[in-house]
Amino acid sequence: MRILCLLTLLAVSARAELKLPAIIGDNMVLQQKQANPVWGWDAPGTEVTVTFAGQTKTAKAGADGKWTVKLDAVPANAKPATITIKGSSTKELKNVLVGEVWICSGQSNMGFNLSSVWDADLDIAQAKFPQIRLISVPQVGTQEIQNDFKGQWEECSPANAGQFTAVGYHFGRVLHEMLGVPVGLIDNAWGGSACEAWVKRDVLEKDPRFASIIARWKQTESTFTKEAFDKQLADHKAKVDAWSKARAAAVKAGEMFTAQPPRAPQNPMTGQHRPGNLYAGVLHPTIGYGIKGVIWYQGESNASRAKEYGELFPFMIEHWRKEWQQGDFPFYWVQLADFKPYQTEPVESDWAELREAQTLTMSKLPHTGQCVITDLGEANDIHPKNKRDVAERLARWALVNDYGQKLPYRSPEIKDAKFDGGKALLTFDYAPQGLRTVDTDEVKGFMICGEDKKWVWAKASIIGGSKKGTNQIEVTADGIAKPVAVRYAWADNPVCNVYSAEGLPVTPFRTDDFPMITDPSNPNSLEAQNARQREEILKLRKIQAEQQKAIEAKKNAGKK
């Protein structure tokens, strides 16, 4: 028996191997000036030694095999170094740099790669930055906590930059060139992802504010079957086959063929909307890695629930900060761009309400900020191709708040509104050199209403014109003798043209607190309107069914 146990132990020892996660590897960048965790797995009880930059740290693998050490803070260093890790085996991590590390996360506009932007050919050809390091996390949607992913750090080059997030690349490029230190970028974005998918499921379930999210998904989960989804896949394949044949026939006949291929069904259980899926599948494997902060571009998928997003988004940020255990690290995001058809009359807008939720998050949490891009979108494309300007506006926040640079960085925001004598006088913060218009001298983008709450387009003028330091705008409208509220850039795709003198667009705003169309408690909310529409459709279908039944009965009576 003793011999059998000994042989078993020897076999286990022979199989024991030091393992590291993908995030800890060759070519990585460690965050400067802070202690950085390094972790991995080995046989339980194994002592692991990590040596780097003249320091040696030791840890013992726990019952689950995981071990963690924390390297002492070191300054930025562009000279490639080696980390040696010894456990049941030895690994050497080569070409390691020390500098600034940022997570690049969100949905498709963050995932939008460099090869798809305007001037992609020039951007990619110039992407020769060996001190910028890139790593991408593959898309895995699951409720099961993942500890690792398939990926590796790489030096930024024309060979790999094209497939990297364009916003992340340009953000990192600006920091690298301005600060003169290495930069590590972690691409962790998933197109179409919902905010709730980035939060740990049980954390979300414990907060009563998000009970409706969980309830909706429990209903989906209870009715989902693999058989039904397999049938959707089979039906989709048949549609694709038919589309391919039609396309081939058109090409053979020399005819135009513009039909798009059928869109594949998505498994909701493994997708990017299910609460907790992205936290477990793609975020968790990166949590704990030493970072400076996060840049974020997401919100489109939550626009119809903007009221809820006002609570959910800051909740997510706080959740990430607690999980990372690195304090209130910087978190900067991109406000939604202008998109969809121009609205010729003042109307309500869920996209405008989502932008407001993003803006208000800055006042709720420290070390946060947003770049406004209502001038960079495209009416017919939810993925605007100008990502360089987006990234550079984000970089301004980091350069000023985190690296001590003296630059304009924050878009003007409404500070005060006074209503008197048939006019609204608006005062703005963050416009030290004054306000200006672009494209035309006429100020565009304002709407105003009286006590009847009926919005009309307004006339507006910058007090003092282009005089330096002017930060006030006067707003009026014919027929509105006693205005009570003003809105600016309040539309899906607003026509607006007021900027700071330094060139940053004024932040969309409203001075009212009227019910939101994304507030479920509002009788006129989008949800209520959709429910009424569904009810009307059901009534119509019932009437049509009864009419068809009567016709069939009449036919049968005639046959008799």
Task: Give the pLDDT confidence of 314-348 residue by residue, as tens digits.
Answer: 999 999 999 999 999 999 999 999 999 998 999 99
Beta bridge partners of 33: none
381 DSSP assignment: B
- How many other CB atoms are there within 10 angstroms of residue 328's CB atom? 13
- Which pLDDT score, from 0 to 100, does residue 10 have? 40
User: Under 8 Å CB-to-CB from 515, ≥6 apart: which residues?
Assistant: 521, 522, 524, 525
Output the six-digit token pair for 271.
Answer: 């997708």
Cα(375)–Cα(394) distance, rounded to whole angstroms?
A: 15
> Contact 152/184 with Cβ under 8 angstroms?
no
Tokens of 443: 């100020």
CA separation for the pair 198, 360 (Å, rounded) = 20
Given a cut of 80, is residue 469 above it in pLDDT?
Answer: no
DSSP percent split of the chain into helix, strand, coil, nearest 5: 35, 25, 40
Average pLDDT over residues 427-435: 96
Q: What is the structure's pLDDT at 532?
A: 63
Of all residues in the chain, the percent with pLDDT exceeding 70 is 94
- What does the mean pLDDT of the chain come to? 94
* Of residues 464 and 401, more confidently modeled: 401
Type of residue at 396: R
Take residue 299 and report the two structure tokens written for it.
Answer: 């919100």
The burial of 378, by beta-carbon neighbours within 10 Å (0-12 exposed, 13-18 middle, 19 or more buried), is given as middle
pLDDT at site 4: 45
Q: pTM of the prediction? A: 0.91
Reported as a pLDDT band with limits 50, 70 and 90, residue 527 is confident
**Could you report the per-residue pLDDT of 29-57, keeping only the tens digit for each?**
999 999 999 999 999 999 999 999 999 99
